[in-house]
Amino acid sequence: METKEFEFKGIVVNGFLMLFVNLAVLVLSIVGVVEGIIQLDTTSGAQGGWLLGGSVLMIVVNIIMWCGLMQLEPNEARVTTWFGKYAGTFAKAGFYWINPFYGTKRLSLRARNLDAEPIKVNDKVGNPVMIGLVLVWKLKDTYKALFEVDTQTMATTAQGTTGADVKSIMNALEKFVRVQSDAALRQVAGQYAYDDEDGGAGELTLRSGSEDINQLLEQKLDDRLALAGIEVVEARINYLAYAPEIAAVMLRRQQASAIITAREKIVDGAVSMVKMALDKLSKEGVVELDADKKAAMVSNLLVVLCGDDSAQPVVNTSSMN
How far is 53 from 57, CA to CA, in rounded Å? 6
pLDDT at 315 over 60: no
> What mean pLDDT do residues 284-307 have?
69
Is residue 168's pLDDT more than 60?
yes
Q: How far apart are CA 22 and CA 16, in angstroms?
A: 10
Alpha helices by DSSP H, listed for the chain, are 15-40, 45-66, 142-143, 151-154, 166-189, 210-225, 244-284, 291-306
Q: Between 136 and 254, name the one with better pLDDT.
A: 136
Q: What is the mean pLDDT of residues 3-18?
A: 91
pLDDT at 160: 46
CB 180 within 8 A of CB 225: yes
In the chain, where are the structural domains located? Answer: 12-107, 112-242, 260-306
Output the pLDDT for position 144.
92
pLDDT value for 102? 93
Give the confidence band of 20 by pLDDT, cuts at 50, 70, 90.
very high
Question: What are residue 115's DSSP bridge partners?
Answer: 134
Indicate the range of 168-182, 201-215, 264-278, 298-312 predicted with least confidence: 298-312
Q: What is the 3-state secondary structure (H, E, C) of 68-99?
A: CEEEECCCEEEEEEECCEEEEEECCCEEEEEC
Enter the pTM of the model.
0.71
Higher pLDDT, 103 or 312: 103
Q: Which helix (H) or strand (E) holds 105?
A: strand 103-108
CA distances from 215 to 69, 114, 133, 188, 211 (A): 44, 17, 13, 11, 6
- The pair phi, psi for residue 285, each rounded to 5°, is 65, 35
Average pLDDT, the chain: 82
Q: Starting at the earlier edge strand, list the strands of the sheet with 103-108.
A: 85-90, 76-82, 103-108
Q: Are 137 and 218 in contact (CB under 8 A)?
A: no
Quick one: pLDDT at residue 95? Answer: 95
CATH of domain 112-242: 3.30.479.30
The answer to whether the CB of 148 falls within 8 A of the CB of 227 is yes
pLDDT of residue 250: 63
CA 229 to chain centre: 15
If you count them, how many residues does the chain have?
321
Convert the pLDDT of each residue in 206-236 to its tens digit. Answer: 887 778 889 999 999 999 999 999 999 999 9
Q: Name 6's Cβ contacts closer than 8 Å, sequence gap at least 6.
A: 88, 89
Q: Give me Rg for the CA atoms of the chain.
A: 39
What's the number of CA atoms in the CB half-sphere (13 Å) around residue 176? 27
- The torsion defined by the Cα of 246, 247, 249 and 255, in degrees rounded to 10, comes to 160
Which residues lie below 8 Å from residue 319, measured CB to CB, with a gap of 6+?
Answer: none
Per-residue pLDDT tens digits for 76-112:
999 999 998 999 999 999 999 999 999 999 999 999 9
Task: Report the candidate in 95, 89, 75, 103 with the shortest Cα–Cα distance to residue 13.
Answer: 95
Kindly tell me if the per-residue pLDDT of 320 is higher than 90. Answer: no
pLDDT of residue 206: 84
In the chain, % of residues over pLDDT 90:
37
**116 with 135: CB under 8 angstroms?**
yes
Mean per-residue pLDDT, 271-289: 73
Q: pLDDT for 36-77, tens place per residue?
A: 777 777 656 677 778 888 888 999 999 999 999 999 999 999
pLDDT in tens, 139-151: 999 999 998 888 8
DSSP assignment string, 120-161: EEE-TTS-EEEEEEEEEEEE--HHIIIIIS-HHHHT--TTSP
